[in-house]
């Protein structure tokens, strides 16, 4: 029984996972991964077997509550474990899987995703179904769990992973790193990055931050991330408190096609760091995902606009605050671009082939700007803060967002959002109503307090 209709071969709706304890040993030179996963599973329905996602790696031993499983069978995508006795809904079991092999990305309709070797290291880019390339899991966005990750590798390399680093030790040529992720996290947002990095601590408003980067890129990294603290302060003001204890930035020596968001981490390639802030919007986008997509996760991939439209709009909020283009100027520009493109994308349910289409990002941001123009700044940002607070560390749906917007807006907005979410033609941007005229005043106030960008 699939866990998400956009990824019908992934996940099992009859189970949920409360916790993963992963112990990994990775040989960078030979790309060999050995792992033991201890997984606390609870039954969401009556079950006699547990089906986990595992791709490209082979299970050699499976235990159920510390004893050998009666049987287990592995296909190219699934590891099916027979239980010693059936479980009723709500009952739990601990499954231990010993596995290993040469991890590699899996092919998907969205390209190759998962564990990937770099020129000198490795990283994981799992969205949406790449996590089974490095550990057995229930790979659906709705199933959030906590994690402990212990990884041993060559001591010449730094390991960055989702969670708080709680231990680092080593003997000889091997170092062991341990991370604890106590915030419920979906599998696709767990990551590992290994590389030869400089580690640097940076202040981020009232939070701690770390940056990891190759030494030759130091000047470019320092220049491009100079405003990260101010960005954090702005987003905490607009969205509510940052939902984690710390935020890490990783810059790889390799060029990457796109930046990657993970729980508490933004991963950028050398291709994204030019030393003059040319791709600053990407820095804002990945940071915003810590609220939208990571803390407030989607209950199903069909609601992906709740991740990407919100993160895209955060780019425009930062642009406006920093004295570049206002959010309205950005919106007007992108509305004209979208208006010239095919009108065949339903924002609420774009379908798996179009879920990462740029129109999801931009139309989602435009829907939020239309809401802001209609409701006004005070109500709009109160809505974003309430959204993040009510669904922190959980999942949410489009219907829940529409209901909250209608509740908190001083004017009706359901029909407005219906046009943007549920109809194919691109709506016109509304004129600022009486409530929305505060937008223009806020823009003037914000931009007059900031020097023009050089």
In terms of Cβ atoms closer than 10 Å to its own Cβ (0-12, 13-18, 19+), residue 344 is exposed
CA atoms within 13 A on the CB side of 361: 16
Q: Which of 6, 157, 213, 361 is catalytic?
A: 361
- Helices then strands, each counted (H, E), the chain: 10, 23
Q: Which of 116, 261, 280, 286 is catalytic?
A: 286
CB 115 within 8 Å of CB 260: no
- To the question of whether residue 333 is assigned a binding role by annotation, the answer is no
Sign (positive or negative) of CA dihedral 316, 319, 322, 328: negative
Closest CA to 77 of 96, 54, 110, 106: 54
- To the question of whether residue 285 is assigned a binding role by annotation, the answer is yes
How far apart, in whole angstroms, are the C-alpha atoms of residue 239 and residue 219?
Answer: 31
Angle, alpha carbons 90-95-101 (nearest 5°): 140
- To the question of whether residue 308 is assigned a binding role by annotation, the answer is yes
Q: What is the largest CA-CA distance in the chain?
A: 70
Tokens of 162: 């989702």
- Using CA atoms, how far residue 54 sits from 226, 234, 402, in Å, is 40, 40, 36
Closest CA to 241 of 387, 401, 385: 385
Annotation says 286 is catalytic = yes
Annotation says 257 is catalytic = no
DSSP 55-97: -S-EEEEEEETTEE-SEEEE-SSEEEEEEEEEE-TT-EEEEEE
Closest CA to 317 of 307, 327, 305: 327
Closest CA to 3 of 65, 57, 45, 38: 45
Beta-bridge mates of residue 202 = 209
Active site residues: 286, 361
As annotated, the binding site includes 285, 289, 308
As annotated, the binding site for Zn(2+) includes 285, 289, 308
């Amino acid at each position: 029984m699939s866990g998400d209709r956009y990824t019908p071969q992934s996940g099992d709706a009859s189970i949920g996972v409360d916790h993963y304890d992963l112990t990994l040993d990775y040989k960078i030179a030979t790309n060999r991964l050995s792992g033991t996963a201890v997984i606390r599973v609870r039954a969401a329905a009556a079950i006699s077997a547990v089906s986990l996602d595992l791709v490209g790696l082979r299970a050699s031993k499976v235990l159920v509550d510390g004893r050998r499983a009666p049987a287990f069978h592995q296909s190219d995508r699934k590891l099916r474990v027979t239980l010693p006795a059936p479980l009723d809904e709500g009952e739990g079991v601990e499954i231990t899987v010993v596995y290993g092999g040469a991890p590699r990305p899996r092919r998907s309709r969205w390209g190759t995703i998962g564990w990937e070797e770099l020129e000198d290291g490795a990283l994981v880019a799992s969205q949406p179904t790449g996590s089974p390339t490095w550990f057995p899991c229930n790979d659906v966005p709705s199933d959030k769990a906590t994690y402990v990750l212990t990884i041993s590798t060559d001591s010449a390399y730094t390991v960055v992973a989702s969670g708080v680093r709680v231990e680092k030790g080593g003997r000889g040529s091997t170092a062991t790193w341990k991370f604890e992720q106590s915030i419920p996290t979906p599998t696709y947002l767990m990551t590992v990055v290994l590389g030869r990095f400089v580690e640097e601590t940076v202040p981020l408003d009232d939070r701690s931050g770390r940056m990891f980067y190759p030494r030759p890129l130091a000047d470019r990294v320092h220049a491009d991330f100079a405003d990260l603290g101010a960005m954090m302060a702005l987003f905490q003001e607009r969205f509510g408190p940052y939902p984690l204890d710390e935020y890490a930035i990783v810059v790889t020596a390799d060029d990457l096609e796109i930046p990657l968001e993970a729980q508490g981490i933004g991963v950028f390639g050398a291709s994204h760091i030019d030393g003059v802030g040319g791709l600053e919007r990407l820095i804002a986008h990945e940071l915003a995902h810590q609220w939208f997509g990571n803390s407030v996760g989607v209950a199903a991939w069909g609601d992906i606009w709740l991740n990407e439209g919100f993160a895209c709009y955060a780019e425009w909020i930062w642009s406006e605050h920093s004295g570049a283009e206002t959010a309205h100027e950005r919106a007007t520009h992108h509305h004209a671009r979208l208006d010239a493109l095919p009108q065949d994308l339903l924002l609420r349910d774009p379908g798996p082939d179009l879920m990462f289409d740029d129109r999801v990002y931009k139309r989602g941001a435009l829907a939020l700007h239309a809401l802001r123009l209609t409701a006004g700044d005070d109500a709009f940002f109160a809505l974003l803060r309430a959204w993040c607070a009510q669904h922190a560390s959980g999942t949410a749906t489009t219907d829940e967002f529409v209901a909250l917007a209608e509740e908190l807006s001083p004017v009706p907005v359901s029909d407005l959002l219906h046009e943007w979410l549920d109809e194919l033609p691109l709506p016109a941007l509304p004129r600022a109503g009486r409530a929305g005229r505060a937008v223009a005043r806020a823009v003037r106030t914000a931009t007059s307090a900031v020097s023009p960008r050089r």
